[in-house]
Structure 1
Amino acid sequence: MIRFILNVLWFICGGLPLAIGWFLAGLLLAITVVGLPYTLAAWRIAGFALWPFGKEIVRRETGLASGPLGAVLNVIWFILAGWWLALGHLIIAVGEAITIIGIPFAIKDLQLAQIALAPIGRDVRRVD
C-alpha cells in the first residue's frame, strides 16, 4: 500500500512528465540510426521514471550489451548525455532530501541518476 501511495505521489509530482521526456528521447534516438542502441535503454528508464517504487535497477550479467560493446556505448552516452542528465537528477534529489517526506523521492532520483550515467547493460526489475 505504501508503494502505491508513493508511486501515485511520484506520478503526480513529476513522474509523468519525466517518463514522457525519456520516452520522447527514445523516439528521437530511434529516428537517428546512430542512436538506435540507446532507444530501448531510454524506454526502460521511462518505465522506471513513471512508477519507480517497487522496482530496482540491476546490472545484466549476460548479453551483448553487458560486455565490451556495452562499455563503449556507455562511454559515448556518458560524454554526450549521461553526465548532465545525472547531474539534473542529483540536483533534484538534493532538493527533495531537504524535507523528510522527500527522502524516498530523493533515493529514486539518485537511482535515476545512476542509470542515466550508464544505461546500457542495465535492467529494471520488480521487487516483491
Structure 2
Amino acid sequence: MKTLLNLIWLVLCGFWMALGYAVAGLICCALIITIPFGIASFRMASYALWPFGRTLVDKPGAGAGAALGNIIWLVFAGWWLALGHLVTGFLLCVTIIGIPLGVANFKLIPVSLLPLGKEIVEA
C-alpha cells in the first residue's frame, strides 16, 4: 500500500516539492556559509519525494549548533514552508482520495520547520 501511495504522491506533488527543495539546497550550497542548510534541504527533498513508510527522528548527537541553525532556519524559511505544507495538506484533505496525501503534507511540517538535527528512517 505504501508503494502505491508513494507513486501517487510522486506523480501529483512529490516530484515538484522535491525539485523545489533540491534547488534550494543547490543555492544554499553555492553560498558556502549556508551549506548545512543545503544539506538539510537535500534531506527534505528525499523525504518529500518518497514520504510513505518513512518517519522523522531526532539525530543523536545534534547539539547547540543544530539548535542555533534551526532558529535561523525557522525565522527565514521554516515557517513559510510549514505554512505551505499546512495549506496544501488541508486542501488535499477536501477529497477522500487526497486525505493520505494531505497527511503526508502534515508529516513534512516538522522537518520543514526544524530540519537540522533530524534523521529520516524507515518506519
> Which residue of 1 is the match for residue 57 of structure 2?
58
- 1:29 Cα shift? 0.2
Letter in 1 for 2:26: L
> Which residue of 2 is the match for residue 103 of structure 1?
99
RMSD: 0.9
**Runs of 5+ consecutive residues of structure 1 not aligned to the other structure:** none
Which is further off, 68-77 or 33-42?
33-42
> Which residue of 1 is the match for residue 28 of structure 2?
29
> Which residue of 1 is the match for residue 71 of structure 2?
75
> Which residue of 2 is the match for residue 6 of structure 1?
5
- 1:100 Cα shift? 2.1
Alignment TM-score, normalising by the size of structure 2? 0.96
2:117 to 97, 104, 121: 121
Letter in 1 for 2:27: L
- 1:35 Cα shift? 1.1
Cα distance in 2 for partners of 1:54, 1:75 equals: 28
**Runs of 5+ consecutive residues of structure 2 not aligned to the other structure:** none
Q: What SS does the corresponding residue of 1:99 show, helix, strand or coil?
A: coil
Letter in 2 for 1:38: F
2:40 is the counterpart of 1:44: no
Tell me the percent identity: 37
- 1:106 Cα shift? 1.2
Per-residue CA distance 1:54-102 (angstroms, 9 max, x = gap): 111111122xxx1111111000000010000110000000111122222
Which is further off, 71-80 or 94-103?
94-103
Which is further off, 41-50 or 101-110?
101-110
Aligned length: 123
Cα distance in 1 for partners of 2:13, 2:99 equals: 15
Alignment TM-score, normalising by the size of structure 1? 0.92
> Which residue of 2 is the match for residue 17 of structure 1?
16
